[in-house]
């Protein structure tokens, strides 16, 4: 499989070759075209010059930056490809952090990281093991896809698959300020009995994470719609949202949820020597424990 990016991973004077592979794959099977409602034919898009409306071939199109009104400086693809940017060819680790220090909203996209060849495997294995033992994540920067990204590198948690994971991170100024959304939430006292019932409800519905149990129902519903159209069959109708028959208070809702819930799932407590659950270290935010408030 062809790597998405190849280069050096540098930690001070230690450097070795790595290859990044995209860890995600789009599974959407249905693709739509734009169709004219009048003719039923596909709509074609043609690029034209704004000056004379003449068609322009892709080979004649270059990027342009408007530095003054109506004045552009053009940039050729080769000029962009040869930007003086060290992170195009190397990930230079600038620091290490505890995994729990990186809040989930910063994570953007995952990549699998492997040594670029067998010669690089020794240094790769040593760095991976050191990250495991110290429970640290390496932070650096990498350039691809037309921009420079922050990147976090951590060991893949399964020792039977001794690779590394890399995650591109969002920059701080790309995230909206949480105070804009959470600042006006009305503060409420939490009653001890309500909290105990809520914790019991969570305990009863706790199970080991299994990603295979989650399916894209939107894709399924879309396919049913398309197949019905092809067969001229009745179009599946959206089910109406359930309407509450009566208003019940929070305490009653909690009690009823527990009484109708499934039996508690016995969770195995990991020993201190056991590794953390797969993927948890990089998605669990650091949160201060809140003291319970009684009414």
pLDDT tens track for 205-222? 999 999 889 888 888 888
Question: Within this chain, do residues 294 and 169 fall inside the same structural domain, yes or no?
Answer: no
Domain residues for the domain of 87 are 5-24+83-174
**Which pLDDT belongs to residue 28?**
67
Question: Within this chain, do residues 155 and 18 fall inside the same structural domain, yes or no?
Answer: yes
- Total Cβ atoms within 10 A of residue 74: 10
In-domain check, residue 108: yes
Contact 77, 62 (CB under 8 A): yes
In-domain check, residue 51: no
Question: Within this chain, do residues 129 and 167 fall inside the same structural domain, yes or no?
Answer: yes
Instruction: Quickly state the pLDDT bin for 12 (edges 50, 70, 90).
Output: very high
In-domain check, residue 196: yes
Contact 102, 137 (CB under 8 A): yes
The Cα–Cα gap between 128 and 10 comes to: 13
pLDDT tens track for 247-290? 568 888 888 888 886 554 444 444 444 444 333 334 334 444 44
Question: Within this chain, do residues 9 and 127 fall inside the same structural domain, yes or no?
Answer: yes
In-domain check, residue 87: yes
In-domain check, residue 117: yes
Q: How many domains does the chain have?
A: 2
Q: Among 98-102, 169-173, 250-254, which is the least confidently predicted range?
A: 250-254
Question: Within this chain, do residues 109 and 157 fall inside the same structural domain, yes or no?
Answer: yes
Question: Within this chain, do residues 198 and 140 fall inside the same structural domain, yes or no?
Answer: no
> What CATH number corresponds to the domain at position 170?
2.40.290.10
In-domain check, residue 213: no
Question: Within this chain, do residues 145 and 290 fall inside the same structural domain, yes or no?
Answer: no
In-domain check, residue 110: yes
Instruction: Quickly state the pLDDT bin for 242 (edges 50, 70, 90).
Output: confident
Question: Within this chain, do residues 10 and 118 fall inside the same structural domain, yes or no?
Answer: yes
Question: Within this chain, do residues 284 and 138 fall inside the same structural domain, yes or no?
Answer: no
pLDDT tens track for 44-86? 888 998 878 888 888 889 999 999 998 999 998 888 888 888 8
Question: Within this chain, do residues 158 and 289 fall inside the same structural domain, yes or no?
Answer: no
In-domain check, residue 194: yes
The mean pLDDT value for 14-28 works out to 90
């Amino acid at each position: 499989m062809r790597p998405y990016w190849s280069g050096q991973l540098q930690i001070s004077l230690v450097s070795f070759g790595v290859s990044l592979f995209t860890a995600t794959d789009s599974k959407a099977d249905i693709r739509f075209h734009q169709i004219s409602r009048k003719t039923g034919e596909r709509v074609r898009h043609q690029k034209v010059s704004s000056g004379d409306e003449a068609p322009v071939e892709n080979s004649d199109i270059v990027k342009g930056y408007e530095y003054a009104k109506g004045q552009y400086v053009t940039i050729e693809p080769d000029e962009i490809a040869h930007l003086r940017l060290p992170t195009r060819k190397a990930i230079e680790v600038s620091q290490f952090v505890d995994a729990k220090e990186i809040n989930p909203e910063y994570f953007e996209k995952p990549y699998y990281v492997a040594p670029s060849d067998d010669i690089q495997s020794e240094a790769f294995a040593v760095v991976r093991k050191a990250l495991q033992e110290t429970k640290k994540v390496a932070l650096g920067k990498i350039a691809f896809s037309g921009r420079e990204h922050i990147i976090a590198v951590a060991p893949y948690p399964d020792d039977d698959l001794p690779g590394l994971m890399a995650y591109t991170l969002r920059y701080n100024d790309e995230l909206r300020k949480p105070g804009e959304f959470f600042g006006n939430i009305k503060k409420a006292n939490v009653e001890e009995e309500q909290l105990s019932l809520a914790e019991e409800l969570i305990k009863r519905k706790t199970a080991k994470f299994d990603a295979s149990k989650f399916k894209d129902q939107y894709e399924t519903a879309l396919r049913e719609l398309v197949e019905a159209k092809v067969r001229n069959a009745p179009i599946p109708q959206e089910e109406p949202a359930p309407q509450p028959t009566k208003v019940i208070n929070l305490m009653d809702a909690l009690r009823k949820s527990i009484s109708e819930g499934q039996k508690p799932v016995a969770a195995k407590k990991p020993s201190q020597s056991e590794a953390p659950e797969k993927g948890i270290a990089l998605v669990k935010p650091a949160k201060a424990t809140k003291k319970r408030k009684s009414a």
